[in-house]
Structure 1
Amino acid sequence: MTARSIVVEQLVQAPPGPVWEAMTDIDSWEEVLTGVDRVQVLTPGGFGVGTRWRETRRMLGAEGTEEMAVTACEPPERYVVEADSHGTHYVSEFLLLTAGEGATTVRMTFSAALPDGPRGLLARLLGPIGARAARRAIARDLADMARAAEARHP
């Protein structure tokens, strides 16, 4: 498998606590994330390792639904979400870093482990297009989360 990574950062004018709350409040994501059409939480209880949900969004003109799972959670500093789709393993790591008085930098690292064979070859050939679309979607999601966190901490 071949791995590709994208790193996107967003400065949020709120301390880590409200940022963490916004970023882990899955029930609000349909309203907060402009790039997400639907979210269906699959596990009861609060956000933590084992939390799973289905997320539906439109990318590159097609609607797709993926099942996500939290695989690491260290409140209020870091969590990791993983998903598998069409032979590709996706990992999204979110780090919340203090950025001065009352501000937080959110750094998301998105990695995709592409399969070998014909499906992986197509993914590698279309890689630059998919990477640009993924970077735009991640930046939009982080900006949406920043607005939600800033609203929680005016």
Structure 2
Amino acid sequence: MELSVFVEIKKPIEDVWKAIIDFKNCSNYIESIVKLEIIDEPKDTLIGFKWKETRVMFGKEAVETMWITDYAENEYYQTRAESHGSIYKSRISIEHVGENTKLTMSFTAEAQTFFVKVFSKCMGFMIKGSMKKALIKDLNDIKTHLESK
């Protein structure tokens, strides 16, 4: 499964970057994140930054361990998580749109086990729609947080 969503935020790119890498405080403005526990915080880089995130997904709390695999400051960061028979990759990117900033989140889920591959074929369209709504909600939470300052 692959999907991508975006919002335009009426703030400079540097402000948006600070918000999307503010892992210690993001549960204060992204409603679905219940708790975030930092596991590893490398010095001078985001690569290898690792955290455990508890969030509400499909009406239930879910815990995932994620880490940053790549980034370019004020441009993007990419994360990876492995659970439930799948590999999940997300990319959060920002770019100038006039005086505003376009914030994009791309998500891929790669099934690794036979059961998950079959389940994905049967139910993937329903899961994709729900995931898209969840990603848009997260981006709109960030937008609201930044534009209310």
Taking structure 2 as the reference length, what is the TM-score of the superposition?
0.92
Kindly indicate whether the alpha-carbon contact (under 8 Å) linking 2:42 and 2:48 is maintained by their aligned counterparts in 1: no
Structure 2 unaligned segments of length 5 or more: list them: none
Equivalent position to 1:112, from 109, 115, 126: 109
- The aligned counterpart of 2:77 is 79
- The aligned counterpart of 1:95 is 93
Structure 1 unaligned segments of length 5 or more: list them: none
Secondary structure of 2:11's aligned partner: coil
How far does residue 85 in structure 1 lie from its aligned partner after superposition? Answer: 0.9
> Percent same amino acid at aligned positions?
25
Secondary structure of 1:126's aligned partner: helix
- The aligned counterpart of 2:17 is 20
Secondary structure of 1:26's aligned partner: coil
Which deviations, in whole Å up to 9, do the C-alpha atoms of 1:29-76 show, x marking residues without a partner? 111110111111112356601101111112223321000100111010
Q: Please state if 1:138 is matched with 2:135.
A: yes
How far does residue 122 in structure 1 lie from its aligned partner after superposition? Answer: 1.2
- Higher RCO, 1 or 2 (CA under 8 Å, sep at least 6)? 1
Amino acid at match of 2:125: P
Equivalent position to 1:32, from 19, 29, 32: 29
- Taking the aligned partners of 1:97 and 1:123, their CA distance within structure 2 comes to 32
Aligned residue-pair number: 148
RMSD of aligned alpha carbons: 1.5
How far does residue 126 in structure 1 lie from its aligned partner after superposition? Answer: 1.5
Taking structure 1 as the reference length, what is the TM-score of the superposition?
0.89
Secondary structure of 1:27's aligned partner: coil
- The aligned counterpart of 2:65 is 67
